[in-house]
Amino acid sequence: MLTTDRATTAPTTPFVNTPLTDFSNPENKAAQEAALRQVASEFGKSYPLIIAGERRMTADTFTSINPAHPDQVLAVFAKAGAEEAKEAVEAAAKRFETWQYTPATERAGYLFKAAELLRERRFYFNAIMIYEVGKSWVEADADTAEAIDFLEFYGREALRYAGPQPVTKIADEESELIYIPLGVGVVIPPWNFACAIMVGLTSSALVAGNTVILKPASTAAWIAARFVDLLEEAGVPAGVVSFLPGPGGVVGDALVEHPLTRFISFTGSRDVGLRINELAAKPRPGQKWIKRTILEMGGKDSIVVDETADLDAAAAAIVASAFGFQGQKCSACSRAILVDAIYDTVLQKIVERTRALTVGDTVDPANYMGAVIDENAYRKIRDYIEIGKQEGKLLVGGEQHEGEGYFIPPTVIADVAPDARIAQEEIFGPVLAVIRARNFDDALNIANNTEYGLTGSLFSTDRGRIARAEREFFAGNLYINRKCTGALVGVHPFGGFNMSGTDSKAGGRDYLLLFTQAKAISEKIR
């Protein structure tokens, strides 16, 4: 019988989610302040490309800036081009020839070590996100905690997949099913979950036995560079992970189109995801396979509230889901759908809670919201607010920020029609459209009237309506009587329907299947 490397030893403890940091504890607050000072002392350093273990600078560079202080340069990066992309794919393909046979126990061990290091440097990684993408202390800490969870969860999953798989036995054969890696994976993470999703996409491909080319978001390249350093410290061999910062239209396209690229794992906008899918679908000369795409592309998410709900809880969840991290989450509540009987009451509660939110530089933990990611996002969101003023009634926010930084106040626009632009198009900013529904049936129809299907929430105490929502509310992640953000690894496998992506479930027990292929082996017994 053909023998294969088997990993049968699981960690001694089951997977559990990483607790969040209590910043009311003076020791934790002091530790985060110290990390912010440490990270500030590193502003302006240069970070090279990494191809086949070789670090190199390029003549062209770009910078990562602080969106709260756009003149402040945080880091300088070598800028890859199409030639470097070609070289990276070919080097990764060469490295895959041996890396693919690395036992799962070893591969998982690198993730467990990386998780240990990330725990030790949690405040440091939090601090980078506070500066680089404008996360509040709490949002940054949750991001790092999720990254740790991905490392721990996917490491355990790799061990499970490497163990014996159930197959039907017959008398005269010995049979087994094994999962083998695919090849070179291109990982293109977003800037919004700058640590968690970047770590999750990279580690899942890596632990499944693939070589990885990480092309970070240009606005969040610093934290990606530091994670690649951490992987090296954890023992990941040279050449297994390449680091290739650069413009998506040049580097990203070249990586996707290369015939030796086996799969692309992407999280980002609908338009970019569709372009990747289109480019990947066209076979190139010398290509032996159908490229696989794992795409998560955004949402237009709703919280529905009926007349039986806890209205205070509903309003709190809507505000938290809409304005946490400036609404820059694919899972954010951008539509509150309220039935007529409680519309005015819940709307007033939303307005009151929104007006209490603080906006400013998130280095100060008193600020709930920071700046949006960059000038392009700032202009796009401002344009949508102007559209919203024509499509509904502006109740909170909407004013122009005076001074430096890309700050936009939390904005609530009421009396919005279900088919309005701000009710249909992904804004990716702190803008909430409030929609009146005649009744529950109407609310459910409105919730399903977009091209997306990522997250959604229902606030109700009516068991019949809850059961209907479970059947009919078309979202990959549906929540009952809680906010529609904050998915936990292992608890809420994350991914949506329709234009929200390929329904890959990050943090779920089937996720690593996307980075492997199954091989059945049978031997005749003599």
Say which CATH number the domain at 467 has.
Answer: 3.40.309.10
Q: Which three-class secondary structure state does DSSP give residue 73?
A: strand
Q: Are 216 and 340 in the same domain?
A: no
Q: How far apart are CA 351 and CA 396, in angstroms?
A: 7
Evaluate whether 318 touches 479 at the Cβ level (below 8 Å).
no
- The 10 Å Cβ neighbour count of residue 150 is 29
The CA angle 167-170-173, to the nearest 5 degrees, is 95
pTM metric for this prediction? 0.96
Whether 384 is in a domain gets the answer yes
Evaluate whether 185 touches 294 at the Cβ level (below 8 Å).
no
Q: Name the percent of the chain lying above pLDDT 90.
A: 96
How big is the chain, counted in residues? 526
Q: Are 256 and 332 in the same domain?
A: no
What average pLDDT does this structure show over 114-129? 98
Residue 296 bears catalytic tag: yes
Q: Are 327 and 198 in the same domain?
A: no
Q: How far apart are CA 412 and CA 146, in angstroms?
A: 29
Tell me what pLDDT residue 3 has. Answer: 33
Tell me what pLDDT residue 9 has. Answer: 45
Q: Are 197 and 241 in the same domain?
A: yes
Per-state percent for the chain, helix, strand, coil, to nearest 5: 40, 20, 40
> Each residue of 419-471: pLDDT tens digit?
999 999 999 999 999 999 999 999 999 999 999 999 999 999 999 999 999 99
Whether 509 is in a domain gets the answer yes
Whether 181 is in a domain gets the answer yes
Q: Are 243 and 119 in the same domain?
A: yes
> Each residue of 168-202: pLDDT tens digit?
999 999 999 999 999 999 999 999 999 999 999 99
> Each residue of 324-348: pLDDT tens digit?
999 999 999 999 999 999 999 999 9
Strand order in the sheet with 69-78: 45-47, 69-78, 61-66
Whether 6 is in a domain gets the answer no
The domain that holds 137 is classified in CATH as 3.40.605.10
Determine which one of 84, 157, 195, 330 is catalytic.
Answer: 330
Query: How far apart, in Å, do the first and last CA atoms of the chain sit?
Result: 11
Evaluate whether 270 touches 499 at the Cβ level (below 8 Å).
yes
Distances (CA, A) of 421 to 267, 323, 413, 433: 23, 19, 12, 10
Q: Are 230 and 324 in the same domain?
A: no
Q: Are 211 and 244 in the same domain?
A: yes
The CA angle 124-130-132, to the nearest 5 degrees, is 100
Whether 29 is in a domain gets the answer no
Q: Are 281 and 305 in the same domain?
A: no
Q: How far apart are CA 16 and CA 159, in angstroms?
A: 16
Which position has the token pair 């996707």? Answer: 256
Determine which one of 296, 307, 333, 426 is catalytic.
Answer: 296
- The 10 Å Cβ neighbour count of residue 130 is 27
Q: Are 193 and 63 in the same domain?
A: yes
Residue 11, pLDDT > 90, answer no
Q: What is the DSSP letter of 236?
A: P
Single-letter code of the amino acid located at 347: L
**Token code pair at residue 258:** 């290369």
Q: Are 134 and 100 in the same domain?
A: yes
What lies within 8 Å, CB to CB, of 108 at 6+ separation is: 7, 155, 156, 158, 159, 207
Whether 216 is in a domain gets the answer yes
> Each residue of 46-56: pLDDT tens digit?
999 999 999 99
Closest CA to 300 of 506, 504, 500: 500
Q: Name the percent of the chain lying above pLDDT 70.
A: 98
Mode of pairing for the β-strands spanning 393-396 and 411-414: antiparallel
Q: Are 326 and 233 in the same domain?
A: no
Residue 484 bears catalytic tag: no
> Each residue of 385-425: pLDDT tens digit?
999 999 999 999 999 888 899 999 999 999 999 999 999 99
Tell me what pLDDT residue 68 has. Answer: 98
Structural domain span for residue 354: 301-488
Closest CA to 199 of 133, 265, 269, 262: 265
Residue 213, pLDDT > 80, answer yes
Whether 93 is in a domain gets the answer yes
Q: What is the DSSP letter of 373?
A: S
Q: Where are the beta strands (DSSP E) in 61-165?
A: 61-66, 69-78
Helices and strands: H and E segment counts in the chain: 15, 21
Q: Are 278 and 351 in the same domain?
A: no
Whether 359 is in a domain gets the answer yes
Q: How many domains does the chain have?
A: 2
